[in-house]
A and B are shown apart, each in its own frame.
Chain A
Amino acid sequence: MSRYLKRRAATYLLVLAVALSLNFLLPRSIPGNPIEELSSGLGNLPVLVDPKTLQALQSYYGLDKPLLQQFWSYLEGLTRGDLGYSISYRAPVSQVLVNRFPWTLLLTVSSLLLSFSAALLLGSRWAGSQVGEWRVLLPAVLLESVPSFVLGSLLLILLGVKLPLFPLSGAYSTLSEATGLLRLLDVIHHAAMPVLVLSTSSFFSAYLVVRSSVLLVKHEPYVLMAKIKGLPEKTIRYHYVLRTALLPVVTFFGLRLAYSAGGAILVEVVFSYPGVGRLIYEAVMSHDYALLQGAFLIFTGWVVLINFATDCLYFSLDPRVKEV
């Protein structure tokens, strides 16, 4: 590993340590605590808990201990791979996250791959074209300006109710006993509409990045030379222009991928998809410290990991980085 990568790795470890402390402190800075939340005066049916029971519950979840002691227990738990116990979900945090995280990744990663592939394909073909580009830009701008939950609801009515081609909600058929290929098809079938909505909403920004990058490279002297040499249009487009233009696209993809762990709350809500975005929202609302800590830790780890992977990719894509 080069000095550059070692330095990056050390920086990311430091970021992880700071994030770990912030993840512990920030949820506790919100007014109230998860036990108080159990006794709410508002809602459809107010549950008013007597102080003795509240005290017993504080003690059961270790929330009556001093903050430093709680932090120490949290760190101790982490060394054993124990992320704590979710008060609102009545289950170990790791179990709750393991149940939700893969579904979010499935949605966000496949929608990013879809939108970036389309952006690369169309961007390299139409960038700078006087007439043809509008065929891409106009619908992309129109779709980008529609909020994802509106688009999701429209698709739900059109392809879910009027033309019942796709399921309305969930990540798979809960009552189905299907296994193997049928199960896989079932999962793809359920993910189709949410992925379509998410990729539509991320296509335009991806297209713009590809477009501007391609336009910069397109007029480089070596591209002109390739044209003069009479190389085929496709070879110039994909081997000469796109390859060089990929660098900012990879960075942008990395960034989008890193933030994708946060899920797509609105789309998850519209399609009742069991992703992590909605889970985090509910955890914030119920002040579920353990779940927030665990989820944010996974997010931080994911962001750091993707950033590090992007750095490594840069390292191999652009030889100039080796000299830094």
Chain B
Amino acid sequence: MVRRSLAVILTILLGCSLSACNKVEESSSAAEVRTAQIQSKELHLPGGDWGLPTPFTFYPRGPGYIHLSFIYDTLVWKDEKGIIPWLAASWECSPDGLSWTFQLRSGVRWQDGKPLTADDVCFTFSYLKQHPVEWFDLEGISAVEATDNHTVTFYLKKPYAPFLNQVAGNVPIIPRHVWQNVADPRGTSNVECMVGTGPYRLIRYDKAQGAYAYQANTNFFLGAPQIEKIFFVPVGDTVAALERGVIDEGNIPASLLHRFKDRRDFLIASGPSYWVLTLRFNCDQQPFSEKAVRQAIACAIDRKALIEQAVPGGLEGAKPGSPGFLPPDSSWHDSTVQHLYPHDLTRARLLLQSMGVEDRNGDRICETADGSLMQFTLITTPQYLREAEALQLMLRRIGFALQPKAMDVRSLDALVREGRFDLALAGHGGLGADPSAIMGFGGMTKRGQSFGVPVDFTYLELSEQLLTSSDRSQRMELCRTMQHIYADQLPTLPLYYPIWFSAHRAETLQGWFYTAEGGIGIGIPLPYNKLLFIRGNLP
């Protein structure tokens, strides 16, 4: 008995001593850590390996670009309202839309002390043409010229309306003196190449654990950032890490929002996800090749009810899908298309009957005139099985029998791309980017094939005009017409647009925001805009 008690006491003591030896990251005294952080202006964020943050080695996904943006700057940037001057103090577009001239800010220096020149900008684009990176689309640029040390002009092959967002606000400018002798930038792991003009320098990168440590660049052109150190630390469960105090901010699912609401130590920031869950029809296959069948399905689906059933307690803040595809949070959204297909089973049945689809033998499953049963497979990923089952019940009421089938997202993507599916339930983001990039997906040959776009000549012509027109009111009108065509053709049915929630510790840093015009860079809807850390709204 005595031996057993001794063993228990020793175990507890060992546990406590081990806890104590790990004070840097996980101190049990959260208050001490908080005080220290406010004094030293440090921030701990959820980590994950997103590659070495150079333009050639970062993983081409949103978080990878966020890391890159801490070290490197672009010509323009975005805040919570829209595009703002960054490395370029001003810019102008020629009346024909074929050239863009940028006036660089004076006094900007690289992190190694050398001055930034227009030549560095020219070098960046020619070097990226030689060593292409999938994240940067430079196809439309024919030449980049430096008129003087602070002026640079881009010549385009044809007018490109989203130039500021997709190119000037996305491509990081790199120093010629560092990269000119690097023959294989993709293969480089040399941290000395990581010289940018950005507000932070990378001081530690742990690939295996997905951890990063950044130190403020005191010579940053807007002054030394308020947050002096940013740490991205490995996190398994974001909510547990937030509760424990390992991280100061984390993205939380809507279903767990209640845990952080009404708490004094946490604040919640929310923003549009620019993400959509869609029901994709295989328009090359009967009966979905018929517009009326797709419209009937749209009428049979109660999109508001779907939001309530998506997670227990409902998907807070989510908005029902717009048949015109663009989300209500987008400034290009046309609200007149939003209610084109209200939940109406009678209308759905009438539409199906007009196509000869009805229940002829009383088994509650519709058939076509030639006897084909309305039984289909609905492919999806495991996280949307709940929605798939809700759709199965909703469409059963109009005589459509669906069999949900879950698979990984890559396989689903491949099946949709190859047209080997009936119906697919899947989601994607990026809806906050320029409307030409969203509405034109699949419209232009170089774009991805898996985005459904109306097979309609007028629509394709309009998407081309939308890409080249620089007049906002004209673009708005084009966008409106395209949304009406989209809603009429319904190549996919948008089901809902969720809202992103971020919980952050109130006493560490305030003023978290989601970036305007779809998000950071080409539209990353994460709250890690470097402007926040530069301003550092400390409580």
Q: List residues of chain A with CB under 8 Å of any chain B CB.
A: 31-32, 37-54, 56-57, 60, 85, 88-91, 96, 99-100, 103, 153, 156-157, 160-161, 164-178, 182, 185-186, 188-189, 192, 269-272, 274, 285-287
Contact = CB atoms under 8 A, between A and B. Distances in A.
A89 B51 contact: yes
B412 A42 contact: yes
A47 B427 CA distance: 14
Nearest to A102: B208
B441 to A, nearest CB: 7
B240 A274 contact: no
Contacts of A173: 22, 24-26
Contacts of B416: 41
A106 B441 CA distance: 47
B449 interface: yes
B428 interface: yes
B372 to A, nearest CB: 28
Q: Report the 7 A-B pairs with minimum CB-CB distance, sorted nearest first.
A: A41-B450, A272-B236, A174-B211, A170-B234, A169-B236, A189-B18, A99-B208
B237 A156 contact: yes
Contacts of A156: 236-237, 240
20 contacts: A31-B411, A41-B448, A45-B429, A45-B523, A46-B441, A47-B134, A49-B134, A50-B137, A50-B446, A90-B57, A91-B207, A165-B19, A167-B25, A168-B235, A172-B209, A174-B47, A175-B231, A185-B17, A270-B237, A272-B235
B240 A32 contact: no
Given A39-B134, A60-B186, A168-B235, A285 B408 contact: yes
Given A32-B410, A49-B134, A285-B408, A168 B240 contact: yes
Contacts of A185: 17-18, 21
A91 B189 contact: yes
A60 B184 CA distance: 10
Chain A contact residues, majority secondary structure: loop
A88 B64 CA distance: 12
A208 B186 CA distance: 52
Contacts of A96: 207
A283 to B, nearest CB: 12
Contacts of B231: 174-175
Contact of A164 (B26, B414, B448): B26
Nearest to B275: A44
Contacts of A192: 18
Interface of B: 15-19, 21-22, 24-26, 28, 47, 49, 51-52, 57-62, 132-135, 137, 139, 186-187, 189, 204, 206-211, 213, 231, 233-237, 240-241, 243-244, 246, 275, 408-414, 416-418, 426-430, 441, 446-451, 522-525
A169 B243 CA distance: 14
A174 B234 contact: yes
B449 A41 contact: yes
Given A156-B240, A164-B244, A169-B246, 11 more contacts: A32-B414, A39-B134, A39-B448, A41-B450, A44-B275, A47-B60, A57-B132, A186-B21, A272-B236, A274-B209, A287-B410
A165 B412 contact: no
A186 B49 CA distance: 21
B210 to A, nearest CB: 8
Contacts of A46: 428-430, 441, 448, 451
A168 B237 contact: yes
B186 A176 contact: no
B410 A160 contact: no
A47 B135 contact: yes
Contacts of A272: 210, 234-236
Given A51-B446, A167-B25, A168-B26, A274 B208 contact: yes
Contacts of B189: 91
Contacts of B209: 170-172, 174, 274
Given A38-B134, A166-B15, A161 B243 contact: yes
A99 B22 CA distance: 22
B28 A164 contact: yes
A169 B241 contact: yes
Contacts of A50: 137, 139, 446
Contacts of A287: 410
Contacts of A52: 132, 139
Contact of A90 (B19, B186, B206, B429): B186
Given A85-B187, A189-B21, A169 B412 contact: no
